[in-house]
Structure 1
Amino acid sequence: MADGGFDDFDMERFRERADARIDAVERLQGTLSSLVGRARDEDGLVGVEFSARGLSELELHPKAMRLSSGELAERIKETVRAASDDLYRQMNRTMAEVLGQEGDQARFLDDPEAVLAQVREAESAFDRTAEDVLGELDRISRRLSM
C-alpha cells in the first residue's frame, strides 16, 4: 500500500532521534545545575563562587578587613558580578554545544532563566509531539491490520 503515507517512515530511527534529543536535554539540565562561576578581585582579597542557586561561596582574605566597609562592600559586589558573568558564560557555552546555537549566544547572557524555561518548554513540546505521532501511528497500524 504505497500511497506516500507512512511507508517510508522509519519508526526505529524516529525513536532513536527522539531518545537522543531527550537525553541531550537531560544532560544539559544536569550540567547547567552543576556549573559554578568563580571570580577574585584584583588583589585576591575577595573570592566568590556563584551557582544557579546564587551566591554559594564568599571568601574574604584577612587583609580585606583593613579596607573601609564601603570599599569592601564595593569589591564584594564587583566580584559577585564577575562570578555571575563567569557562570553565564559557562552556561552559554554549554547550551550552544548541546543545542547547536553557537551563532546566537548573546541572548543566553541576557536572560538565562528565560532560556532555561525555553529548554523545558521545548522538551515538553517535543514529548507531546512524539506521543501524538506514536499514538497516531499506532491507530493507523491497528486500522491497517483489521
Structure 2
Amino acid sequence: MIEREFGAMDLDRVLKNADAQMARIGDLRQVLTELVGRAADQDGLVQVEMGNAGLRSLQLHPKAMRRTSGELAELIQAVIAEAADDLRRKVTESMQELFGDENPMRFADDPDGPMAQVREAEAAYNRTFDDLMGELDQIRNRMER
C-alpha cells in the first residue's frame, strides 16, 4: 500500500516542475519591475502612474487647482485607486502568461482553495502514516513469533 502511494509520485517530475517554477519567478521579478498601472480622471486633471514600488508619478493639470482641497484630494485618491487596479490587473495577466494553470494568483479570489489542497495533502499523509504504522506492526508481530 505504501509503495503504491509513493510509487505514484514522480520525484524527477516534481523537481523539474520546481526548477521551472523558480525560473518563472525570476522572469516575473523582471516583468514586475517594468509594469506600470496608469489612470486619469475623465477631465484629465489628475494623471497617475503606479509601479511595483508604489506611486511613480502624479501630475496635476493647472485647472485642478480650481477645485477645493477636499475635492482635489478625493479626485487624487480615486485616480490612485484606479491606477493601482490597473497595475494589479497587469500583474495578474503577466502571472497568468508566465505560470498558466499553476498561477499562484488564482487563489487571490478564492483563499479557501489552498486550504482545501492542504487538507487533501494532510489526509494523504495521514493515510500513508497509518499504512506505514500498520506495516510496522505486522513486521513487529512477525518478529515476535
Q: TM-score range by the shorter chain?
A: 0.5 to 0.7
Cross-structure match for 2:78 = 78
1:52-93 per-residue CA deviation (whole Å, 9 max, x = no partner) reads 111110000011011111110000000000000000000000
The higher-RCO structure (CA 8 Å, 6+ apart) is 2
1:1-146 paired onto structure 2 within 5 Å:
19-101=19-101, 107-108=107-108
Gaps of 5+ in 1: 1-8, 112-146
Deviation at 1:20, TM superposition (A): 4.2
Tell me the TM-score normalised to structure 1 length.
Answer: 0.58
- Look up the SS of the partner of 1:42 in the other structure: coil
Residue identity opposite 2:44 in structure 1? G
Q: 2: distance between equivalents of 1:110 and 1:85?
A: 18
Q: Is the 8 A contact 2:40 2:46 kept in 1?
A: yes
Q: How many pairs are equivalent?
A: 106
- Look up the SS of the partner of 1:100 in the other structure: helix
Residue identity opposite 1:89 in structure 2? R
Q: Is the 8 A contact 2:48 2:79 kept in 1?
A: yes
Q: If you compute each CA radius of gyration, which structure gives the higher value, 1 or 2?
A: 2
Q: Is the 8 A contact 1:40 1:48 kept in 2?
A: yes
Tell me the TM-score normalised to structure 2 length.
Answer: 0.58
Cα RMSD for the two superposed structures: 3.6
Q: 2: distance between equivalents of 1:65 and 1:24?
A: 45
Question: Percent identity, aligned pairs only?
Answer: 45
Gaps of 5+ in 2: 1-9, 112-145
Q: 1: distance between equivalents of 2:110 and 2:69?
A: 31
- Look up the SS of the partner of 2:37 in the other structure: strand
- Look up the SS of the partner of 2:48 in the other structure: strand
